[in-house]
Every structure is written in C-alpha cells, then in structure tokens.
Chains A and B, each alone.
Chain A
Amino acid sequence: MKKMLTLLLVLLCSTVLFAGGATESTKSAVTGYKDTITIGQGADVTSFDPHIGKETPAVAVTNHIFDTLVDTDPVTGDIVPQIAEKWEVVSPVSYRFFIRKGLTFHNGEELKADDVKFSLDRAIASASVSYIVDFIKEVKIEDDYTVLVTTKAPYGPTLSNLAVPFAAIVPKDYVSANPDILKTKPIGSGPYKFVSWAQSDNARLEAFDAYYKGAPQTKNLVVKVIPEAAQRTIALETGELDISYDILVSDLKRVKENKNLQLFEAPSLTCFYISFNMRKAPFDNQKVRQAINMAIDRQLLVDTVNSGTGAPADEIIAPAVFGYYSTGVWEYSPAKAKALLAEAGYPNGFECTLWVNNNQTRVEMCQAIQEMLREIGITVKVEVMEFGTFISRSTAGEHDMGYFGWVTSTKDADYTYYSLEHSSQQGAPGNRSFIADAEVDRLVMLGKTSADLAVRVQAYKDLALTLKKIANNAPIIYTAITAGANKKVEGFILDPIGYHRLETVKVSK
C-alpha cells in the first residue's frame, strides 16, 4: 500500500513537472508563426473604459480595442487617418472629419457620426481625460459620415489631441444602455476584440477580422500582469513571454547579452525637471537659477543614478515631441556657476529645500543633485513627501525647488508649454515655477492657436530659447522607454509614449 502511494506521488510529481512541456509542443501547428503573442507588463488595466483608464498599462491594452478619429504614426510622429479617412480645416476654429464608410464595432454595429459625437462629448465630461479634449466647443453631426468639430478658440494641436487614445470612439447604443459596461466589457472598433479579463492576472484579446486595415498579424493577444520587474525578465528568458515592457535598468545588460533576446530602447516622452519657485527669494533671481542649472552634471546623473539609460535634458519637452527645439544641454561648470552666484549676491551660497515625492529613483536623483549643489555652496535639504501632499503643497507654492516629472502625452509641445509655462496655469494645472512672462505667454499662445505648422515650429523655437534664458526650470533627464523581446518577434515598433501597437507583430515558431 505504501509503495503504491509512493509510486502515485512520483507519477503525479513528474506529470506536474512535464505536463507543460507537452502542451507547449502541441502548440506548434501548421503555419510558421505562433497564433498568440504573450506580453508582460508591470501593472494591471485600471479600467477598460478609454475615457477613464488613462494609465499607460491600461492604454497599452485598450489602445488595441478602440480607435480614434486620427492616429499618430509611431515612427514619423505624423498625424494619419484612422476612423476619419480624411479631414479639412474649415476655419481656425472648425475641423470637418469624414468617417470611413462601412466601419463596424466589434458587435457588428456600424460606426457613424453619432457615435463620434457621443464619444467626444463623453470624453469631455470625464474628469479623468477631459483635459485632452476640453478645447472642443461643439461636435456637430452633418450627416451619418461627417462631423464638424468646433473649438472654443483657434487651437493648433487639435489633431494631435484627437489622436490621443483618451479621445477613443465608443459605440453609442451599447454604452447608452449601460454607461458602466465599458469598464469590464469593452467594445470598440480597433484591431483586437476583448475576450476576457482576469483582474491582476491577464487580459485576453482576439483579432478583429473585419478591421478596416485587415486582420492583425497574430490571432490572440495575451497581456500578463507581472508586477515584479525581475520576474518579467526571467519570464522573457524562459520564453513564457514574447515581449516584456519596462525592463529593469539592472536587467538591461542581461537582455542585451542574451542571444535569444532583443532589446528595444528609445527616449520616452517624459522629462524630469526641477521647478524653481520664482515667487520666492533667491529663486526670483535669474542668475541664481542659471547658476543651479550650470552646477548640475546631467550626464553623470544619467550614467550613475539612471545606470546609463535615458539622456540629459535640454528642454522640458522630449525630442520626440512636435515643437521640440534643441537649445543644447546646459554646460556643466561649477566655476561659472559660482561666479554667477557671486554676481547674484550670494558668494557664499544659501540654504534651501528641494521637494520630491517618495519614489526611490527620484529621491536618489535629488540626493545626487544635492551633492552637486553643495560644491557651489548651496546647502540643499531634500524633503521627501507622499505624492498627494507633494502635489497639493507645491500647487500652493510652498516649495523652494521641486523635482517633477511630466509626460507630453499628446506628443505636441502645446500640451506641456501651456500647462507649465503660461501665466494662467500657475499652481494646480502645472506651472509650479510660477512664471508670468509676457513674451513667454505670447509665444505659448501663438503655438497654441496657429494652425500653420511653420508658424508653430518657429514659435516653439523662440520659446525654447527664451525659456533657456529665463531658466525657470532646470530640465534634468529624459527617461528611456524599454522593451525586451524574443528574437523571434517581428514587426514590433517601440512607441515613445508606451502605447505600443501590436497588430503588426508576429512571432515565428
């Protein structure tokens, strides 16, 4: 009896150990490509409703379920047609969009102008995403396949904002019947249909064969949630994942050196910067702000704190953003910085605080900057606080210097410049340096309101140069966006914002 039990146990153990291998081998079938792509990301989808779930892990999934009127090409950054096959600028405040005929949602209903109006109105009313579309005054249905979008004022980045996934088009009838339905049972018109969601575990999508561009390359998409970054790399190495997003900095070398893996790396749309509170002395002094800018060795920060990933920043918008103009990274020169401080009337430096929220890498960055500023005689006290407190107290202007991060999620300079540099946006909207400069305001508004690309480019160039002189912020680094993939993965394009599209991806067996 005992021997039988032992034998049974051994059999069970070996079945458990080797059962997976068997299923793996039966997976390989007729074609040369796998029918499922398995992706790993660090966090779960917060909401499948595109007008609520705006965090990158949510959009990375919902981006495949929903389409927008127009799209941004991940490589060129150009605005390209999506639901709207074409558009015309009727006046500086109105855009006419022509919807593709025959487009259907995943439930088979045809996508028409009333769905577009319903969706944009719904996005405007959403507390989570309204900031992307609240420039819209009215969406008017001209006929079943034409809508006229009127803006409150001339707004240059209209198309860029309508390309942001938060401006997704959802089926009116389906959502009207149950306004909460998209949170868990999303239906859109994107390349993949929703299949299932096991919260904290995975989301499964299936190719939408009737997609207007043709069915995606791979039939099934499984997005697994693996919060532990080291485990994501292990899963990539073992082949459990085909693609893993956000590779841990300490794992980059391991992925690069593994002959079965490939590493995708690009500067993201995120810039980390220090805002000087210009309402407070000594930060109301331009020379002090310039001196601090010159005392920071950005390359060293990239090489050490960031383990060589990312790039030194010269602007608060990243190079992949429309309107970026390189003014050149601030020269690192403690001697010149000291001279500037002396000219400003602080030959022996001064004491001040640098606020940061409780994020390990951000805190380390501030500690390194603290040491750099000590060299020019500025004694900085780094104060670490919880995110909500950090935001509310810096909004009230209580800080001396604050270390912030900002993502230009529309890929258009206006999004960042208006929020961070315009005098009307002081405090909560983002301007925490409390800059109020007439010339800066003029250039920001010129870029914002002009529909002429050349005028906008020139405005942002002038603005970048003006801001460099004023030095109300000290841009520190652009972070990198990374993804690791199996060598068998083909057609993957890294999107600097993190919403990588996978309909063109296939994985050879």
Chain B
Amino acid sequence: MGKYILRRLVMMIPVLFGVTFIVFFIMSLTPGDPAAIILGDQASGEALALKRIELGLDKPLLVRYATYMGNLLRGDLGLSYRNQIPVAGQVWDKFPNTAMLAVAGIIVALIIGIPVGILSAKKQYTFMDNSSMVLSLVGVSMPNFWLGLLLSLLFALKLGWLPSQGMGQGFFPLLRSLVLPALTLGTGVAATVVRMTRSSMLEVIRQDYIATARAKGITEKQVTNKHMLKNALIPIVTAVGLQFGHLLGGAMLTETIFSWPGLGRLMVDSITSKDIPMVLGSVIFMAVMFSFVNLLVDILYAFLDPRIKSQYGGPAKRRKGVVA
C-alpha cells in the first residue's frame, strides 16, 4: 500500500509539469498584453514598455518558462502581475474558504443524494422514483448562477432568514452565510449523486447475495445498509471524489454570485486581468488538490472493498503463506 501511494505521488510530478506547460503557453500565446491590461488604455507607450520589462515580458517565451519552472522548483510561485503580492500566499489564504464551501456543498449533496438515490432504487418505477429522477435532471441542468440568485431572493430578500452574500465573521454568522452557497453548490452535485446511487444500487439489488441475505431473515434495513449500500458505494465514492476534487479547485460561479472569497473567484479575476503567475499558481494548486483527492478516493476503495485491498498488499502475503 505504501509503495502504491509513493508511486502515485511520484506520478504527480509529470502531471504538474504538463499542467504548467499547457497553462503557461496557452496564457502566453492568447492575444492580449498583460501590461496594457494592467495599465489601461490611457497609459503611455513608455509606461507600457517599462511595465513589460518589470513583468519580464520582454524576454523570449521559453526563457520565461524556464525561469518560472526554476522558481517553482524552489517553491516560489512568483508575484501576481496585478497587485505585486506573492501568489503562494494569496492562493493559500483562499484555500480554507474554498475547502469549507466544498465540504459544505458535498455534505448537502450527500444528505440529499444518497437517501433519495436509495429510495429511488428500492421503489423503482414508482411515482417517487420518477419524480426524483425528474428533479435530479432539473438539478443537474439548473445553472448555478440562476439557482443562487433565486435562493438569495427567497431566503435573503423575501424571508430575511439568511445573508444574501459574503462570508460571515464568527461561528454562527459564518454558518449562516455558508447555507445558501452550499445549497447552490450541493444541489447540482446532489443530482449526480442521486442518479449514481440509484443505478449502482439497482445493480446490487439484483445480486444473489441480497436474496441470500433476505433469506437469512435479517431486517430490510440491515440488508439495505450493510449488504446493498456498502457494495454499491464504490461508484458513488468515485463520483463524489471527482466532484469534491472539482469543488476544491473553486466553484467559480457560486463563489462569484455569493461573493465568497475563494480560489474560484481568484481564478476568474486573474484570468480576466491576464495575471499569468496567479492563474498558473491557482491551476498548479488545483491540480495538486485534485490528484490528492483522487489518491484518497483510491485508498478509500481499499477500505470499502477488501478485494481491492488485496490487490495492493494481499498477493505478497499469500505467497508468504505458501512458502510457509
């Protein structure tokens, strides 16, 4: 298992190189001069030239990339073009906010998604199943910016229960301000989880061991929780893990609508101002997060399914057994 984790960690290095290479060249080759964007259309030619030198944009692209990578290997993500503040600090500052929102969003998704998915599967083709499928389709299709505004209008403006935007200071204000963005974010993910849970459960429900479990006379609740759900969890965990990885990279729309100071907004602001070091820094951070979450999901498989665990460490033990 340890070797497996180490191998996966080493595999992240080429992934990160690939990510920096692609993003650096896309950002650099797309039209637009960061100096002109920073200084605006009223800057003089001289000021623009000075700014380009200050940003190192007067050097050839490959030299800039090599310099960037050299600094990156020393852990230096550079300075933001826009505000001249170190990128790493800014990304790191935003990460807890994004992580908080991502966790809350996933909790909402799981609370809604798994029970509804299970019920749908167990009551297949009933009114309940059909309506939950329609609702989950609506949930997946509903754009976040629209749902977010509707929720704000209802809960903040009409009912006055929750703040419309921003991140509250202190425990309860923070919790209150988290509700609407988490609901907005969680609804879309919940819809995916419902559909994934349902289809996965349906596959398990038809297995012989479920009939056996029922024949043993154990309660339906035990059959559902211990025999069906646990065996149906692998695809659900994969889907949730992927979604969580995405959310950790910042939910750009939700963060923008609710003025949530997270990575997603940082990224949007940086892209619009062609702040290449900031975009690169955020993307590298997101790639690392995504790879870590994927790794965690893979490790989680081992705990959910002993057969997978045996693939990591099992065979060696068995061989030992034979020798003995």
Contacts and interface: CB of A to CB of B under 8 A. Distances in A.
Contacts of A15: 172
Contacts of A235: 156, 164-166
Interface in A164-219: 180, 183-184, 198-202
A265 B85 CA distance: 35
Interface string B26-65: 0000111110111111111101101100100000000000
- Chain A: number of interface residues, binned into ranges: 35 or more
B57 to A, nearest CB: 11
A342 interface: no
Contact of B166 (A127, A226, A237, A385): A226
Contact of B266 (A54, A200, A392): A200
Nearest to B255: A200
A224 B274 CA distance: 24
A386 B31 contact: yes
B215 to A, nearest CB: 29
B166 A201 contact: yes
Interface string B135-148: 00000000001000
Contacts of B32: 386-389
Interface string B152-177: 11001100111111111000110110
A387 B32 CA distance: 7
Interface stretch (B66-74, B126-134, B257-265): B257-265
Given A234-B164, A388-B274, A228 B259 contact: yes
Contact of A234 (B85, B90, B152): B152
Nearest to A408: B42
Contacts of A240: 156, 163-166
B82 interface: yes
A17 B261 contact: no
Nearest to B85: A183
Contacts of A19: 172-173, 175-176
B164 A238 contact: yes
- Chain B: number of interface residues, binned into ranges: 35 or more
A237 B47 contact: no
Contacts of B173: 19-20, 23
Most chain A beta carbons < 10 A, residue from B32, B156, B258: B32
Interface string A216-237: 0000000011111011001101
B149 A231 contact: yes
B83 A47 contact: yes
Interface of B: 30-34, 36-45, 47-48, 50-51, 54, 82-85, 90, 93-94, 145, 149, 152-153, 156-157, 160-168, 172-173, 175-176, 179, 256-259, 261-262, 265-266, 269, 274
Interface of A: 15-17, 19-20, 23, 43-44, 46-47, 52-55, 127-128, 130-131, 180, 183-184, 198-202, 224-228, 230-231, 234-235, 237-238, 240, 385-389, 391-392, 395, 404-407, 409, 419, 427-430
10 contacts: A16-B175, A20-B176, A23-B173, A127-B48, A200-B265, A200-B266, A228-B256, A238-B157, A388-B34, A391-B33
Given A16-B175, A52-B84, 14 more contacts: A44-B269, A127-B43, A128-B51, A184-B85, A201-B166, A201-B261, A228-B149, A231-B152, A234-B164, A235-B166, A387-B41, A391-B33, A419-B42, A427-B45
